[in-house]
C-alpha cells in the first residue's frame, strides 16, 4: 500500500514519446503512478515526477535527488546514467560508482527505491554499437541493487519493446504503447496485479521491403540523428529549458491518458 511515489530520471522517466493533449508528456512513470493510486482511498496518494529529458547523472544527482530525499516518499524510481553511457569516452564502471553514491542517499530516507536497467539496443541504429557498454552498466546496476535491497525494473529482458511499434519515430524514446508496457512491468516488479500482460504479443505487421527500410532510415537520420549530433557538438541538451512536471494528481493523469487513447 504505497502512499507516495517520486520519479527521478531523464527523458525516459519524463515520458518523452508519450504526448498528452496539452503537449506535455505522460510516460510510464505517470501511468505507473495511476496503477499505484488505484490501490489507495480517493485522494490518499501523492506523486511527483522530477525527471527532465537530456540530463546526465551528475545533473540528476544535483537537481533531483535532494528534492526526492526531502520528500522521503514510500517509493522512488531512480533511472539515471543512460545519457552518460551513450556519450563517447565514458566509463561504465565510473558512472556506476556515482550511481551507487546517489542510490545510497535515496535508500537512506525512502521506503523502497526501484532502479531500472537500460534497454537491449541490438536493433537500434547507432546505439546497437554500444550494446556491450550498456550491458556492462546494467550489470553494475543489478549488483548495486542487490547490495541495497532494491527491486529492479529490468528493461533489457522486456521482449515486447523490441518491436518497432514500442518506439517513437526518433527511435530513442518509447511510444505510448511502449511506455504503457513498461508501466505494467513496473507493477509486476512490485508484485501488483496489473490489468494486462506487458509481454502480450503485438498484432502481425505486413512485410516491409529493403527499399522501404532504407527510406525510413534516411528520413530518420535527417529528422532525428543529425539534430541530435548537432546538439552534442554544440554542448546543448534537449532539456536545457525544460522544467520538471513536479507534483501531479492521478485524476489529472487519467484524464490526459483518456483524451489521447
- Of the CA atoms within 13 Å of residue 235, those in its CB half-sphere come to 0
pLDDT over 80 at 241, yes or no: no
H helices of the chain, in order, are 11-14, 28-37, 57-63, 65-71, 82-85, 92-107, 131-148, 176-189, 210-220, 226-234, 250-260
- pLDDT on residue 104: 97
- pLDDT on residue 216: 78
pTM of the model as a whole: 0.92
- pLDDT on residue 217: 77
pLDDT over 90 at 200, yes or no: yes
* pLDDT confidence band for 172 (50 / 70 / 90): confident
Which residues, at least 6 apart from 149, have a Cβ–Cβ distance to it below 8 Å? 107
Distances (CA, A) of 83 to 25, 107, 249, 252: 19, 23, 29, 29
Hey, how many other C-beta atoms are within 10 angstroms of the C-beta on 209?
8
Q: How far separated are the first and last CA of the chain, in Å rounded?
A: 28
d(CA 102, CA 66): 10
- pLDDT on residue 240: 73
d(CA 57, CA 86): 12
* pLDDT confidence band for 230 (50 / 70 / 90): confident
pLDDT over 70 at 121, yes or no: yes
pLDDT over 70 at 22, yes or no: yes
Whole-number average pLDDT of the chain: 92
* Between 125 and 39, the higher pLDDT residue: 39
Amino acid at each position: 500500500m504505497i502512499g507516495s511515489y517520486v520519479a527521478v530520471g531523464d527523458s525516459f522517466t519524463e515520458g518523452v514519446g508519450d504526448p498528452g493533449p496539452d503537449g506535455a508528456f505522460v510516460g510510464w512513470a505517470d501511468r505507473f503512478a495511476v496503477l499505484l493510486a488505484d490501490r489507495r482511498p480517493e485522494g490518499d496518494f501523492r506523486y511527483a515526477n522530477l525527471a527532465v529529458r537530456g540530463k546526465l547523472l551528475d545533473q540528476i544527482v544535483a537537481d533531483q535527488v535532494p528534492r526526492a530525499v526531502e520528500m522521503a516518499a514510500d517509493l522512488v524510481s531512480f533511472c539515471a546514467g543512460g545519457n552518460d553511457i551513450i556519450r563517447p569516452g565514458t566509463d561504465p564502471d565510473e558512472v556506476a560508482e556515482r550511481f551507487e553514491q546517489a542510490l545510497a542517499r535515496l535508500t537512506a530516507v525512502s521506503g523502497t527505491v526501484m532502479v531500472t536497467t537500460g534497454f537491449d539496443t541490438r536493433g537500434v541504429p547507432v546505439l546497437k554499437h554500444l550494446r556491450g557498454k550498456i550491458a556492462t552498466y546494467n550489470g553494475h546496476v543489478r549488483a548495486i541493487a542487490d547490495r541495497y535491497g532494491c527491486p529492479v525494473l529490468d528493461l533489457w529482458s522486456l521482449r515486447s519493446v523490441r518491436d518497432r511499434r514500442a518506439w517513437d519515430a526518433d527511435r530513442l524514446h518509447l511510444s505510448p504503447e511502449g511506455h504503457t508496457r513498461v508501466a505494467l512491468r513496473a507493477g509486476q516488479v512490485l508484485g501488483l496485479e496489473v490489468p494486462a500482460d506487458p509481454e502480450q504479443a503485438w498484432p502481425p505487421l505486413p512485410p516491409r521491403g529493403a527499399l522501404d527500410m532504407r527510406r525510413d532510415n534516411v528520413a530518420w537520420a535527417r529528422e532525428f540523428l543529425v539534430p541530435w549530433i548537432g546538439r552534442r557538438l554544440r554542448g546543448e541538451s534537449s532539456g536545457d529549458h525544460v522544467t520538471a512536471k513536479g507534483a501531479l494528481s492521478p485524476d489529472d493523469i487519467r484524464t490526459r491518458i483518456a483524451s489521447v487513447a
